[in-house]
Amino acid sequence: MTDNAGARSDDVAPAVPPEADIAVRVTDLHREFRRPRTRLFSAPPVVPALAGISLTVPTRSRFGVVGESGSGKTTLMRLIAGLDHATSGTVEVGGVDITAHTERDLGFLRRRLQVVFQDPMGSLDPRMSVRRIVAEPLLAQGKSDIDARVVEVLEQVGLDAAAARRYPHQFSGGQRQRISIARAIAPEPDILIADEAVSALDVTIRAQILDLIESLCEQNDLTLIFVSHDLSVIRRMCDRVAVLRGGRVVETGPTAQIYDDPAQDYTRELLAAVPTLNRSLALARDRAQERGLG
């Protein structure tokens, strides 16, 4: 098995899928960052963000990456998306080692993989109309019938065609995330990465966006890599999960199995510490009823 130590020995799913059924393979991945030099003649301190991560993401699976802040999950996502460079190790997307390519050579990756980020306002250019935002990856890939495709994906995410003429600041947080999702699916990728895609949203809107991502993955046969600190969201969205701590995978396997019977103390602590989505929704409903009664 190529996954890190901590994988379940009683895992009923195949440990390593056939090569053709692997969307992403990460092998012994390391990423170190150098801090500013503290002394004139001393070497700059090195901070390890990832310390030898290995995992496989099966094609058309719903794969979760979970861990507390600083666990390395966002660094891992950036390396898989080709947005950062590994210190050592490899990332293969569709059998192609992207760590062996320069940024200029990663056009094929942009066609196959897209990312939905945590903060929709931060990832959307406020000077661009929604039409330009959603069309941007289509223009980069030389697609035709761009306006028709923009309208199509806006409707798929629950926005009408008139939204194309407006600007990000004219929408709510949930609507802005729908625009981000429309931009991500517009070039028809095979793989969608959602990096904390609902953590900045109100709990009721969060459920709607999760439903939307789930529906789009089913409609478009997407492989989903969902990055979150919340295991309750991962349990709802993903069939497999890797639990990260300190830049390492401490446990990996089927989500339900890890959620119901975690093998590692860290996973149990993580489950106990994070409020579940169902509890949060129940609390929101209670508060709404109190306001109605008041």
Instruction: Supply the pLDDT for residue 279.
Output: 57
| pLDDT less than 50: residues of the chain | 1-2, 8-16, 293-294
Instruction: Supply the pLDDT for residue 213.
Output: 95
Instruction: Supply the pLDDT for residue 282.
Output: 61
Instruction: Supply the pLDDT for residue 274.
Output: 62
Query: What CATH number is attached to the domain comprising 141?
Result: 3.40.50.300
Q: Is residue 7 part of a domain?
A: no
Range of the domain at 199: 19-35+44-293
Q: Is residue 226 part of a domain?
A: yes
Q: Is residue 1 part of a domain?
A: no
Instruction: Supply the pLDDT for residue 197.
Output: 87
Q: Is residue 9 part of a domain?
A: no
Q: What is the pTM of this model?
A: 0.83
Question: By C-alpha distance, which of 190, 180, 214, 171 is closest to 23?
Answer: 190
Q: Is residue 12 part of a domain?
A: no
Instruction: Supply the pLDDT for residue 149.
Output: 95
The CA distance from 16 to 7, in Å, is: 12
Tally of domains in the chain: 1
Instruction: Supply the pLDDT for residue 267.
Output: 84
Question: By C-alpha distance, which of 186, 200, 108 is closest to 149?
Answer: 186
Instruction: Supply the pLDDT for residue 194.
Output: 94
